[in-house]
């Protein structure tokens, strides 16, 4: 069984616009935090790891999983940087958060922690980041988005995903895993939500941080099981673990809205 570059390209071109559209519509229906929570799932990095496993073997995918776990820490840094800079506008906040992500991600390349220790660190850092994320008071209800809003989100995100992952397999497994974790979907959702003010942007970021617990569970289980169980079973148990954690975190997404 092998995957061609055309297979991965089709996956990106089909999955990416569907995901960003679904998360955007969910955010409009149930709140911005729900949209961020949805894109916290490994819906980009998971398929990338799957195709890399098919092309390069289970050992390569296990190393990708370790890189992706480290990438969750960089995503938490992205959320904090953006959250604390929302008052400066979405351009400055997004640019600064992207730089912070890159610095943290590159620094994490030097880590030699085992997957369990790395995963425990990820979960602790996510809890800390949730506590440090600023709270923004909601203003008036945002205006109805223009007709071009959703197509623009889908187009921009697809272009970014294809561009960012095009060179990933040539960079090695750990750097590939880190690069695949750049929060493209969350960045687009946050920037578009930021048009209505800082509060909706922070809601997306809070939802993303909650969703990253399932992200960490997915790659912890994948990294520890794929070489023993094989590709299909490894991804199967990792997906089950991610979904279980994701459903458990839903209460923390819904509770602030109810309050």
Reported as a single tens digit per residue, the pLDDT across 29-70 is 766 667 667 767 777 777 777 877 877 788 888 888 888 888
Q: How far apart are CA 43 and CA 18, in angstroms?
A: 11
What pLDDT digit, counting tens, does each position of 178-200 carry? 666 778 778 887 888 888 788 88
Q: How far apart are CA 174 and CA 171, in angstroms?
A: 8
Q: Domain coordinates of the chain in residue numbers? A: 33-136+146-254
DSSP H helical ranges for 85-148 = 90-108, 115-132
Max Cα-Cα span within the chain: 54
Residue of 17, 112, 19, 118 lying closest to 68 (CA atoms): 118
DSSP state of 85: T
pTM beyond 0.85: the answer is no
What average pLDDT does the structure give for the chain? 78
Tokens representing 99 are 């730089």
pLDDT band at 258 (very low <50, low <70, confident <90, very high): very low
| Distances in whole angstroms, Cα of residue 196 to Cα of each of 47, 144, 157, 193, 221 | 32, 10, 20, 6, 38
Residue of 150, 128, 160 lying closest to 21 (CA atoms): 150
Q: How far apart are CA 63 and CA 214, in angstroms?
A: 19
């Amino acid at each position: 069984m092998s995957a061609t570059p055309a297979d991965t390209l089709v996956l990106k071109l089909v999955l990416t616009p569907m995901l960003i559209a679904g998360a955007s519509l969910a955010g409009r229906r149930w709140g911005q935090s729900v949209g961020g929570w949805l894109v916290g799932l490994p819906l980009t990095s998971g398929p990338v790891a799957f195709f890399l496993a098919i092309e390069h073997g289970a050992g390569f995918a296990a190393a990708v999983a370790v890189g992706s776990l480290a990438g969750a820490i960089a995503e938490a840094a992205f959320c904090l940087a953006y959250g604390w800079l929302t008052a400066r506008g979405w351009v400055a906040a997004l640019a600064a958060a992207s730089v912070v992500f890159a610095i943290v991600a590159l620094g994490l390349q030097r880590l030699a922690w085992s997957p369990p220790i790395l995963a425990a660190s990820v979960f602790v850092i996510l809890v800390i980041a949730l506590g440090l994320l600023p709270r923004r008071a909601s203003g008036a209800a945002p205006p109805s988005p223009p007709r071009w809003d959703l197509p623009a989100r889908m187009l921009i995100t697809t272009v970014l995903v294809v561009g960012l992952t095009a060179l990933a397999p040539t960079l090695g497994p750990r750097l590939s895993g880190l690069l695949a974790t750049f929060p493209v979907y969350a960045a687009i959702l946050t920037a578009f939500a930021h048009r209505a003010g800082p509060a909706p942007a922070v809601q997306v970021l809070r939802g993303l941080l909650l969703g990253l617990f399932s992200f960490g569970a997915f790659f912890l289980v994948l990294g520890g099981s794929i070489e023993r169980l094989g590709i299909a079973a490894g991804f199967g148990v990792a997906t089950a673990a991610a979904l279980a954690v994701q459903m458990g975190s839903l209460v923390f997404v819904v509770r602030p809205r109810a309050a």
